[in-house]
Structure 1
């Protein structure tokens, strides 16, 4: 996985706060994959099917107004989905608009979406007012909004829209995140649903329009081995004149994942040092203006790949005429500077409709230190298999640590923090086939290189909703065989989405399960008895979606992904219909049989088609040609498209044969 995303549970009975009293929602069993009647039980709450949607484009609204509307959407849509918003640009080429069109429901469009507050004001009890000085109070307000049938607003919004203040959180909390969420857990947990818990950032960073960046330094070579590591003087004096100078570090080659890394920064104004720090230390914090799209690496370096970046803010003394930043950096850096604050902080509005509608508890606890300890306490209060929906703080490191904690606690993660209109998509039904795709059987394997290529990220339901839809609409999709990871939990969170991908797949498109089954998880981190429950749930949803291959993680030891154990593989073989497993892998090519199932390690290479092919050739050069060679190739869904797959396929002559995963595993299973 290349992005952000995230989450845990232990023992505990489902108590008051479930869905038995909520109109329009059905209470369903959680812990078992099937009911005693034989019909499948739901993991997540059910919503009524929408009949008519009131639609508005909210893409130009600020985060505060979007939050007001998404929490209103949660209260209204709980009974039956009626509100739907576009968070893109409002044209029919955006994912939100495409899915709306696909539903073919009657709609009423509102030029000013905020008019919907007055239309539906009688459906809410009023507003929960959050404290703008304490960002995490927005999450507490969201939890309370679900419990009190209210919207989340600031004081000015409540006044402007004539909303009665149900609860005012101003002055109630300070900036101690642990204390804030401790209060919420102690006071609100008995009232919330115990079918799921949520994790959402209280704020987001929004780009400011028309900021002029001046390029300062760029690595023009595709360097990935740190061979250009050095101390670089970056003269940003031209940006002096206003209160501060902002310096952005980005990736000069956005498609291969080797962005610039920074290990030390020194700043001199007119030759006098005014700042010095190492990334990841308290000294850095006062200068790090925006680091949300970056990570700390193993060398205590800060880096950002692809379209990500990080920004430092330096405020030189009055009268400064020379400002030089000396940075120890390497790989594919791109440095630019500006004198204008390039971003602003706004409330994070996304997915709050689903949280409010389901009366879920929402927090934002980085999975380390005191906040990690409190996160573990949260998970321990929830039943096994209660999903964590949303994401984790701290980018990739937060993902690994958070999902590992969730796995240890028996909870699958559903990456959903940017899943828009979740209450509508969960209610809209569409046909989903349980028929397994027939295998194109190769009767006798030849001494060839059998290659299967798989787009990652499919466990991430927001990816399925947004970026995967864009990729799917590439006119070259289907020209070459490609596997598409997808979440089988779209059965409940977005059946219309899953149905669309299933119904419009070509003969060269194969849907496979995203990591690592019924939710993003690390199988090796689970308690065995809880993992059995997860496997039974996975088997149920895979059989209902006709999927019999999975991309899986295992767990990490000494910062390396290890092979799925014999016991875990036997569990997959016993409880699921899987014919093969692709697993994350750090070593050389892997193709083994474990627990009766063929398992292959996922191999990958940077760059686009030509570079990927060159890396394949280099690896295949070690092959003696005496037996078939099997390679499961990972494709970065954030930088590749079906057009790139077609370009690669055009380069693959003898000895390669590009095939779908079902054929790949059928052949591998007979060859091992």
Structure 2
């Protein structure tokens, strides 16, 4: 995934202690959706139906100015959505612009979006000033902005826009993250929305413009078995002359997820060693310029797959003419170097409109160690099935431990840290059909039945951005594929869900993303709370016409754990599911439990030809005496519908490609 996410409280229109109105969506106009939506209490907040939208392109603004505007958006849109921003660099062809056009609302464009601060100054009390020296103060400022009807700004912004300072956080906190967020939990949470927790990074890494990266080393073979492991001398002398040299490690084959892996680093300037360290140690820290998009492996190695990378910064003594970095490295590495600082740190602006408008508490607590213990206290403060929206630090490792911690606390996760204009999308009225797609029934034969599924659908920002880009691929519909999607879009983005549902071809099937109503690991839930999550999932699946799910369970030291009988029975009892595709590396799981067929997903690297070769190897032991079933997971960040269209013609006899509903119809008849 990027490589990710109550209930039933009161009536369909609830005012929660000044937290804004959580109301049922107005009636939809398709099938029985009107009654279905009107009768179900909301899990997530809505801020009214948008009318005229004042909008502008903020993609060229700094993160600080974007934060100022998104927090303004949160205060203004809480009453009724009026502000919308284009964050994407794609301009008129980007997702933000496309969704705005699809809404068919009256709009007013502002060439300088910062003019909107003056226009709406009368709607805010002033500014909460964060402390640039303490990044986490920006999250505290965001929480306070929601409570105080204010925007988040630094001191210079407040002065430039003539904003009264409501609260000045400069000098209030130090860089003790646990102490900062404990103060917030104890002093601000009692005033906050008790039905939503959020997690956002306070800062982001922004790529600098016009950086010249020189290739230093590349693995040209697709190797994933560490067979090229060795010590490599990387001569980066060509980039000497300025203050420092920046060395980036990435993936030479970005579509299959086996990038550079490094276990040790030493650096010599003019033959004299100036640095030696192992990844993920205190000795590495002074040199790790950018590491958020990399992970730590089982040997303590640092690695980055796909589009991810990390950067080391080395500042040799003045007069250095030779700089050589020696690394123990393997797999599909791509090493480049530059003499220009490739990134800068800015405030992280995204999703803050939704946080401010809902008056939610926002934190950023890595889910291990003392910060993880404090995050657990957050989950313990709220009731079962109260969602956690945003994300976790430390990439994939943070995902696994963070989602597991949330699951133990009874909170489904909504990956939403890059979800933009949520206050607008949540209030849009759009028809969502409750009808389940009719199954194309076929007679079982002794074939290999294959169904292909794009992952990542639990991730609402993926549904908003990457999925829309893929959906617009002109070759979509040429071949059958399942698309995971979040049923929670029925509340946080009904227009998005409606668009995909209405424009799906006969070869596109929407199925529920992990693992129901929000990303979670059911096996990690407290036993007495899991039924509430499954009931919630059943409600959302019925509201969105879905009866299949891609799901995770939980992990132990050996990997993913198969759903036990009792959890499968819970899904069968409380949801409309016909079957479950379970995340399962290797694809060798196929059982019937709780009355449901459960099959593990099969995955392979590369594109069409390599994927087909992996399938052939996977079925080499099949005797052809009975049907064989393979649920293929497709990398949503690396593949497109064009790639699916390339793969489909290769799946000739004994393969037969089918949609997920036909696949599980067959399984239910033969398993």
TM-score (normalizing by structure 2)? 0.96
Task: Report the counterpart of residue 462 of structure 1 in structure 2.
Answer: 461
SS of residue in 1 equivalent to 2:532: helix
Deviations 1:523-550 (A, max 9, x none): 1000122110000000101011110000
Task: Report the counterpart of residue 101 of structure 2 in structure 1.
Answer: 101
Hey, what's the Cα distance between the residues in 1 that align with 2:10 and 2:473? 47
Hey, what's the Cα distance between the residues in 2 that align with 1:53 and 1:82? 5
Deviations 1:116-166 (A, max 9, x none): 000000000000000000000000000000000000000000000000000
- 1:209–1:36 CA distance, 2 compared to 1 (3 A): closer
User: C-alpha displacement at 1:91, in angstroms?
Assistant: 2.4
Q: Tell me, yes or no, if the aligned pair for 2:67 and 2:153 is still in contact at 8 Å.
A: yes
User: C-alpha displacement at 1:37, in angstroms?
Assistant: 12
Q: Tell me, yes or no, if the aligned pair for 2:10 and 2:41 is still in contact at 8 Å.
A: no
User: C-alpha displacement at 1:21, in angstroms?
Assistant: 2.7
Task: Report the counterpart of residue 204 of structure 2 in structure 1.
Answer: 204
Task: Report the counterpart of residue 49 of structure 1 in structure 2.
Answer: 49
Q: Tell me, yes or no, if the aligned pair for 2:587 and 2:599 is still in contact at 8 Å.
A: no
Task: Report the counterpart of residue 511 of structure 2 in structure 1.
Answer: 512
Q: Tell me, yes or no, if the aligned pair for 2:218 and 2:334 is still in contact at 8 Å.
A: yes
Hey, what's the Cα distance between the residues in 1 that align with 2:430 and 2:36? 25
Hey, what's the Cα distance between the residues in 2 that align with 1:507 and 1:38? 29
Q: 1:482-493 to 2 correspondence within 5 Å? A: 482-493=481-492
Q: Tell me, yes or no, if the aligned pair for 2:509 and 2:659 is still in contact at 8 Å.
A: yes
Matched, 1:553 2:561: no
User: C-alpha displacement at 1:591, in angstroms?
Assistant: 1.6
SS of residue in 1 equivalent to 2:85: strand
Q: 1:54-453 to 2 correspondence within 5 Å? A: 54-89=54-89, 91-442=91-442, 444-453=443-452
SS of residue in 1 equivalent to 2:91: coil
User: C-alpha displacement at 1:13, in angstroms?
Assistant: 13
SS of residue in 1 equivalent to 2:72: helix
User: C-alpha displacement at 1:562, in angstroms?
Assistant: 1.2
Hey, what's the Cα distance between the residues in 1 that align with 2:479 and 2:24? 44
Hey, what's the Cα distance between the residues in 2 that align with 1:255 and 1:90? 22
User: C-alpha displacement at 1:90, in angstroms?
Assistant: 5.9
Q: Which moved more, 1:177-186 or 1:143-152?
A: 177-186
Task: Report the counterpart of residue 524 of structure 2 in structure 1.
Answer: 525
Hey, what's the Cα distance between the residues in 1 that align with 2:210 and 2:56? 26
User: C-alpha displacement at 1:666, in angstroms?
Assistant: 0.4
Deviations 1:570-609 (A, max 9, x none): 0000000000000011345222100000000000100000
Q: How many residues align?
A: 659
Q: Tell me, yes or no, if the aligned pair for 2:547 and 2:576 is still in contact at 8 Å.
A: yes
TM-score (normalizing by structure 1)? 0.96
- 1:237–1:423 CA distance, 2 compared to 1 (3 A): same
User: C-alpha displacement at 1:36, in angstroms?
Assistant: 14
User: C-alpha displacement at 1:349, in angstroms?
Assistant: 0.1
Hey, what's the Cα distance between the residues in 2 that align with 1:24 and 1:414? 21
User: C-alpha displacement at 1:207, in angstroms?
Assistant: 0.4
Hey, what's the Cα distance between the residues in 2 that align with 1:226 and 1:563? 29
Show structure 1 runs of 4+ deviating over 6 A: 35-38
Task: Report the counterpart of residue 32 of structure 1 in structure 2.
Answer: none
SS of residue in 1 equivalent to 2:188: helix
Q: Which moved more, 1:447-456 or 1:579-588?
A: 579-588
Hey, what's the Cα distance between the residues in 2 that align with 1:36 and 1:606? 42
User: C-alpha displacement at 1:320, in angstroms?
Assistant: 1.1
- 1:24–1:82 CA distance, 2 compared to 1 (3 A): farther
Hey, what's the Cα distance between the residues in 2 that align with 1:618 and 1:451? 14
Hey, what's the Cα distance between the residues in 1 that align with 2:638 and 2:546? 25
Hey, what's the Cα distance between the residues in 1 that align with 2:298 and 2:423? 40
Hey, what's the Cα distance between the residues in 2 that align with 1:437 and 1:142? 42
Hey, what's the Cα distance between the residues in 2 that align with 1:199 and 1:38? 30
Deviations 1:143-202 (A, max 9, x none): 000000000000000000000000000000011101110110110011000110100000
SS of residue in 1 equivalent to 2:325: strand
User: C-alpha displacement at 1:22, in angstroms?
Assistant: 4.6
- 1:287–1:84 CA distance, 2 compared to 1 (3 A): same
Hey, what's the Cα distance between the residues in 2 that align with 1:506 and 1:321? 61
Q: Tell me, yes or no, if the aligned pair for 1:20 and 1:27 is still in contact at 8 Å.
A: no
Deviations 1:361-382 (A, max 9, x none): 0000000011000000111001
SS of residue in 2 equivalent to 1:529: coil
Hey, what's the Cα distance between the residues in 2 that align with 1:115 and 1:2? 35
Q: Tell me, yes or no, if the aligned pair for 1:59 and 1:90 is still in contact at 8 Å.
A: no
SS of residue in 2 equivalent to 1:436: coil
Gaps of 5+ in 1: 29-34
Q: Tell me, yes or no, if the aligned pair for 2:22 and 2:42 is still in contact at 8 Å.
A: no
Hey, what's the Cα distance between the residues in 1 that align with 2:665 and 2:482? 15
SS of residue in 2 equivalent to 1:536: helix
Deviations 1:79-98 (A, max 9, x none): 00000000013622100000
Hey, what's the Cα distance between the residues in 1 that align with 2:548 and 2:493? 21
Deviations 1:277-323 (A, max 9, x none): 11111111110000111000111111111111100001111121111
SS of residue in 1 equivalent to 2:198: strand
Gaps of 5+ in 2: 26-34
Q: Tell me, yes or no, if the aligned pair for 1:570 and 1:596 is still in contact at 8 Å.
A: yes
Hey, what's the Cα distance between the residues in 1 that align with 2:281 and 2:208? 28
Hey, what's the Cα distance between the residues in 2 that align with 1:630 and 1:611? 19
Task: Report the counterpart of residue 31 of structure 1 in structure 2.
Answer: none
Q: Tell me, yes or no, if the aligned pair for 1:569 and 1:596 is still in contact at 8 Å.
A: yes
User: C-alpha displacement at 1:24, in angstroms?
Assistant: 5.0
